[in-house]
């Protein structure tokens, strides 16, 4: 799949509506009980880019971005303003935000991920599109230096350490990240009159698996 390493204008995604989607298959049994299962290991996010438009200049920027991606053809980065950090939205990123693995004295590469916990349940979301210059990492509660002790592949979300973390050392990271998405339509319909009257075009965007 073609993917462009470019972010949808953040000022246009601000104000958009969207979030995670799950797929659950439910079978009702004759005794009144249910059997529930899901074919998805990971959630999928959907957004509406049209709600972030505030002027005709914004519409022009959206159309230019849409045309450059050839509609649904090419994926791109999207900033989810409600969920774009390894920490709480109001907090500052720290190298201890997320546990990304355990050192064994041999392994050098670790994939970025983010935990969503509630009660006894915990979901680990893979993070494949970290924002360049925002990734912090550490091992054994010691912060390491970016570019010296480790490097980050912002295309895949892999962190590579110059020296393998010691056996038993908890490897942690903090970061900002984007969501890999594509347009979920090959058509944008907008009227100047209706836009000025407050009728915004619908521009669906959907997360893609990489």
95: Cα within 13 Å, side-chain hemisphere: 16
Among 6-15, 60-69, 146-155, 185-194, the minimum mean pLDDT is found in 185-194
Name which of 201, 100, 210, 82 is nearest 159 in CA terms.
100
Q: Which helix (H) or strand (E) holds 174?
A: strand 170-174
Share of the chain above pLDDT 90, in %: 83
Residues 9-62: pLDDT tens digits? Answer: 999 999 889 999 999 999 999 999 999 999 999 999 999 988 888 888 888 899
Does pLDDT of 183 surpass 70?
Answer: yes
Mean pLDDT of 117-122: 94
Residues 62-108: pLDDT tens digits? Answer: 999 999 999 999 999 999 999 999 999 999 999 999 999 999 999 99
Query: Alpha-carbon distance 48 to 150, whole Å?
Result: 36
Pairing type for strands 150-153 and 158-161 reads antiparallel
Does pLDDT of 180 surpass 90?
Answer: yes
Q: How far is CA 38 from CA 22, 33, 100, 116, 157, in A?
A: 8, 17, 25, 18, 26
Assigned token pair, 7:
């972010």
For residue 139, the tally of other CB atoms under 10 A from its CB is 24
Q: What is the pLDDT of residue 198?
A: 63
Query: Which are the contacts of 199, defined by CB distance < 8 A and separation ≥ 6?
Result: 191
Q: What is the pLDDT of residue 197?
A: 64
Query: What secondary structure, in 3-state letters, does 70-92 show?
Result: CCCCCEEEECCCCCCECCCCCCC
**DSSP conformation class of 130:** B
Q: Which helix (H) or strand (E) holds 195?
A: helix 192-196
Assigned token pair, 122:
């915990």
pTM: 0.91
pLDDT band at 191 (very low <50, low <70, confident <90, very high): confident
Q: What is the pLDDT of residue 116?
A: 97
Does pLDDT of 204 surpass 90?
Answer: yes
Q: Considering just the CA atoms, what is the radius of gyration of the chain in Å? A: 20
Query: Alpha-carbon distance 13 to 183, whole Å?
Result: 13
What three-state secondary structure class fits 192? Answer: helix
Does pLDDT of 157 surpass 90?
Answer: yes
pLDDT band at 192 (very low <50, low <70, confident <90, very high): confident
Mean pLDDT of 188-210: 83
């Amino acid at each position: 799949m073609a993917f462009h390493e470019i972010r949808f204008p953040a000022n246009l995604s601000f104000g958009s509506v969207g979030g995670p989607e799950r797929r659950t298959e439910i079978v009702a049994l004759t005794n009144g009980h249910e059997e529930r299962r899901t074919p998805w290991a990971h959630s999928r996010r959907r957004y509406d880019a049209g709600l972030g438009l505030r002027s005709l200049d914004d519409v022009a920027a959206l159309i230019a971005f849409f045309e450059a991606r050839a509609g649904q053809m090419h994926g791109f980065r999207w900033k989810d303003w409600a969920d774009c950090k390894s920490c709480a939205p109001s907090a500052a990123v720290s190298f201890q935000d997320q546990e990304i693995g355990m050192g064994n004295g041999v392994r050098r590469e670790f994939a970025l991920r983010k935990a969503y916990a509630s009660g006894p349940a915990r979901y680990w979301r893979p993070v494949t599109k970290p924002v360049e210059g925002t990734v912090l990492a550490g091992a054994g509660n010691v912060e390491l230096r970016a570019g010296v002790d480790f490097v980050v592949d912002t295309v895949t979300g892999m962190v590579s350490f110059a020296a393998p973390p010691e056996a038993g050392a908890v490897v942690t990271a903090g970061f900002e990240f984007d969501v890999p998405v594509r347009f979920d339509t090959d058509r944008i319909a907008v009227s100047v009159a209706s836009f000025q009257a407050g009728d915004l075009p619908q521009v669906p965007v959907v997360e893609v698996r990489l």
